[in-house]
Amino acid sequence: MLNESYLLSWAWEREYLSQIFGYIPEVDAVAVHWRSERLFRRRFPKLRRKFRRERLRIPRSIGKNSVLIILSDELYREPKKIPTRAVFKQYVSRRDSNCIPFPLGFRNQFPSLPARPVDQRSIDVGFIGRMYPHRKAFLAQLSGHRSLRGFRLELNSQVRCSVADYAEFLNDTKVSLCLPGNSSPETFRFYESIRSGCIAVTARMPDNGLYAAHPGFQANNIDDVDEVVGIIRTILADRAQLQHLQQRSLEAWEAQYSPQAVAAMVKRIVLAA
C-alpha cells in the first residue's frame, strides 16, 4: 500500500503512483518530495545553494520493511543511505548508488487515448509548454528554419491548455519535441509523448537504467537548432519508418514505463531485497 499523506496537493504524479501501487498492494511504500529550487531559480537565483543544502526529511513512518519513493528533486541530490528495503527516486545521477531510478510518468488527469496511427496525424513536429526565454528564441529559429519548409510545425511556448487538450495535441503529433525544463533534461512530456505514440526528440538523458533503451532520438546539444533540425529531417524523410518508430515508442511505454511495468519492477526489487 502506498502512503500518499506526505505528498503536496500539487503533486503531478499522484495518479501515476496510485496506479502503480494498485498493482502491488502488498508493498508498504511512502512517497515524499525533496523540494527542488525550480520556482526560486527563476526569481531568486541566490537561493539555489540554499536548496542544495536542504536535507531530505524522512517521515517517522518509514521503517526497515518500507519502500521510499523520492519525488521532485531536479537537482539530482544524493540522499545518504536510508535503512529501508529500497529507495526509488526521480532524477538519479550516475554516481548515486543508493537510489533506484524511478520514472516521472504522466501528470494527473492525463487521459488514456487510443494512439492514433502516425500516418493519420496532421502535425509533423509539435511542442506546447511554458514560456522560458531560451525556449522562445529556440522555437522561433526552429519555426523559421528553411530545412523544415514543407512540414507542419506547431511550436508554442506561450499558449496554455488543459491536460485533456494537450493529450489530444500529442495524439495528433508525429514528432514530439521534448525540451528540458529549468534544471533537468527529464520531463513529463517525454513519458506522455511515448505513451501517446509520438516519436520523442529529447536532450541527452541521464546515464541510468531508465533511458538505456530510449525509444526516440537524443540530441547531444538540444540548444543547437541545426542538430535538432537534422534529427527531425532524418525522422520525417523516410515515411515508411514512421510506423516502426511509433510502435517502438508504444512498446517502450508498455514494457518500461507503464504503471504495470513499473509495479513489476518495484515488486522484483523489493522481493530481492
Count of structural domains within the chain = 2
Considering the domain architecture, whether residues 148 and 80 belong to the same structural domain is answered as no
Give me the residue label for grid cell 519513493.
69
Q: What is the pLDDT of residues 86-128, one digit of tens each?
A: 999 999 998 898 999 999 999 999 999 999 999 999 999 999 9
113 is a domain residue: no
Measured CA distances, 119 to 91, 125, 175, 198, 265 (Å): 34, 13, 12, 11, 33
Burial (CB < 10 A; 0-12, 13-18, 19+), residue 80, is: exposed
| Residue 81 clears pLDDT 90, i.e. is over it | no
- Tell me which residue range forms the domain holding 230: 118-257
Share of the chain above pLDDT 90, in %: 66
CB contact at 8 A, 177 and 227: no
Considering the domain architecture, whether residues 262 and 239 belong to the same structural domain is answered as no
- Tell me what pLDDT residue 43 has: 47
Q: What is the mean pLDDT of the chain?
A: 89
- Tell me what pLDDT residue 82 has: 87
Considering the domain architecture, whether residues 73 and 134 belong to the same structural domain is answered as no
- Tell me what pLDDT residue 267 has: 96
Beta bridge partners of 64: none
Considering the domain architecture, whether residues 124 and 250 belong to the same structural domain is answered as yes
| Residue 39 clears pLDDT 70, i.e. is over it | no
- Tell me what pLDDT residue 48 has: 53
Q: What is the DSSP letter of 238?
A: -
Query: What amino acid occupies position 77?
Result: R
| Beta strand 67-71 pairing with 153-156 | unpaired
Considering the domain architecture, whether residues 175 and 235 belong to the same structural domain is answered as yes
Considering the domain architecture, whether residues 237 and 144 belong to the same structural domain is answered as yes
Q: What is the pLDDT of residues 196-213, one digit of tens each?
A: 999 999 999 999 999 999
Considering the domain architecture, whether residues 103 and 142 belong to the same structural domain is answered as no
CB contact at 8 A, 71 and 34: yes
86 is a domain residue: yes
- Tell me what pLDDT residue 218 has: 97
Across 118-151, b (16+ Cβ under 10 Å) vs e yields beebebbbbbbbeeeeebeebbeebeebeebeee
Does pTM surpass 0.75? yes
Q: What is the pLDDT of residues 142-175, one digit of tens each?
A: 999 999 999 999 998 766 789 999 999 999 999 9
112 is a domain residue: no
Share of the chain above pLDDT 70, in %: 92
Considering the domain architecture, whether residues 219 and 132 belong to the same structural domain is answered as yes
| Residue 52 clears pLDDT 70, i.e. is over it | no
Considering the domain architecture, whether residues 124 and 79 belong to the same structural domain is answered as no
